[in-house]
Amino acid sequence: MRCFRHESCRAAVLSQRTEILVDVTLPQGATIEATGASVTKLESWLRKQPETQLVTSYIAGGAPRFFLAYNPELPNPNFAKLIVTTPDAQAQSRLLLRLRRSLADGLAQEARVRASRFVFGPYSPWPVAFRVSGPDLVKVRSISDEVLAKMQADPNTRQANEDWSERAPTLHFVLDQDRLNLLGLSPSETARELKFLLTGVPLTQVREDIRTVDVVARTSGENRVDPTKLMNMTLSTAGHRSIPLSQIGRIEIRQEDPILKRRDRVPIITVQCDIDDSLQAPEVTMELAKSFQPIIGKLPEGYTIQIGAAVEEAAKANVAPSSSDPDHGRVHARCHHSSGAVSSCIGHDPADGAAGIGGSRSNPSCVQAAFWVRRDPRSNRLGWNPDAQLTDPGWADQDQP
């Protein structure tokens, strides 16, 4: 019988594809027109470069899944994806370096623009990520801001950001009930007319082949999307009198969260960043986890910081062979436990793994784990041995009786 050592955190391998991926993200609440304007700037710059063969843009969403290790982004008006085709790897490297320099000098500075390559292995939008979760959203946002500040201060990271937490301004129209009563209008009637003016009301349907398309009546786009013209809209009373909105209420600007993300019904914010192509995500992740120890040490009960991105996805891939074999039990691995340690999430107790690298419990640290394998006499194939007793990981690649 032979014991093999199994790496828990595999390094991401760059693909040989010569495309460059460009992610464009504007602040929350940005319109699709603003996103399109930023994309136009990038397209104009890219088409002037000698290495560029083709530029394909997808505004308000990701590209179709034309590559296995790519997960299309969900529809979002403040997001766009550009795919730039280059002739070879050398041209790709030159264009990627020049694009990053131009972005640092102010090209499309109104947006966060990330240029990257395809990688093999489990897909992760960013190579390094930490999830901050807890019951109170305000406290979670405060902790994630601390994590973000630490991440931005690390020289091995770039473009550190939070997947959400930006608040967007919204307009709220507050009705004056006394004025409505004097004019003979009710709040429900006013709401219906405002919906007709702003959102629109379906009037009929038009059949197109096997589908039906709604015909919606509403005001023109210039008046509907311009906040300065909102108060000039008019409502009709029962006596067919036109009343401007400014006479029946006022506008308030409030900050709201356009996105609320939860994991296991608990608010969660992911702090993520990019790294240099010469570095590996597991190395940077472990270094950042050590720098987060002061934050982890003062976490209140119920709040955690967990590792995500490339390290987590690689751990899932490592555990998958054991869970897919019904003839053999769970993979046995020895994990060294230490308070606040980083968990690579393979083979350890689920109760420990739930706490990630933060929380009130001790957590496992599994950078390497050893596994026994044996040949199944029934099927003449190798499989995981659930009964093996692991002793010293230094026994790797040594024949045992």
What pLDDT score was predicted for residue 46? 96
User: What is the signed CA dihedral for 107, 110, 115, 121, rounded to 10 degrees?
Assistant: 180
What pLDDT score was predicted for residue 372? 35
Residues 299 and 394 in one domain: yes
Residues 280 and 187 in one domain: no
CA separation for the pair 237, 252 (Å, rounded): 24
How many other CB atoms sit within 10 Å of the CB of residue 380?
7
CA separation for the pair 312, 338 (Å, rounded): 19
CA separation for the pair 12, 314 (Å, rounded): 9
Which of 256, 279, 301 is at the close of a domain?
256
- Domain count within the chain: 3
What pLDDT score was predicted for residue 336? 37
Residues 355 and 381 in one domain: yes
What pLDDT score was predicted for residue 395? 39
CA separation for the pair 370, 151 (Å, rounded): 32
Task: Give the CATH number, domain containing residue 63.
Answer: 3.30.70.1430
pLDDT, one tens digit for every residue, the chain (401 residues): 333 333 444 455 678 889 999 999 999 888 899 999 999 999 999 999 999 999 999 999 999 988 877 888 989 999 999 999 999 999 999 999 999 999 999 999 999 999 999 887 777 889 999 999 999 999 999 999 999 999 999 999 999 999 988 888 888 889 998 888 888 888 888 888 888 888 888 999 999 888 999 999 888 777 777 778 888 888 887 777 888 888 888 889 898 888 899 999 999 999 999 998 888 889 999 999 999 999 999 999 999 999 998 888 878 777 766 555 554 444 333 333 333 333 333 333 333 333 344 443 333 333 333 333 333 444 444 344 444 444 444 433 434 44
Residues 141 and 35 in one domain: no
Task: Give the CATH number, domain containing residue 141.
Answer: 3.30.70.1320
Residues 108 and 126 in one domain: no
CA separation for the pair 346, 317 (Å, rounded): 9
Task: Give the CATH number, domain containing residue 231.
Answer: 3.30.2090.10
Residues 5 and 37 in one domain: no
288 by Cβ neighbours in 10 Å (0-12 / 13-18 / 19+) ranks as buried
Residues 101 and 204 in one domain: no
Which of 212, 240, 256 is at the close of a domain?
256
Which of 256, 280, 303 is at the close of a domain?
256
Residues 225 and 326 in one domain: no
Q: Which amino acid is at 284?
A: V
Residues 250 and 314 in one domain: no
What pLDDT score was predicted for residue 142? 95
What pLDDT score was predicted for residue 198? 86
What pLDDT score was predicted for residue 314? 79
Residues 240 and 267 in one domain: no
CA separation for the pair 304, 119 (Å, rounded): 29
Residues 194 and 266 in one domain: no
| Residue 31 per-residue DSSP state | -
Residues 231 and 96 in one domain: no
The parent domain of residue 292 ranges over 1-13+122-167+261-401
Q: Which of 196, 235, 238 is nearest to 219 (CA)?
A: 196
Whole-prediction pTM: 0.69
Q: Which of 121, 92, 105, 120 is nearest to 22 (CA)?
A: 92
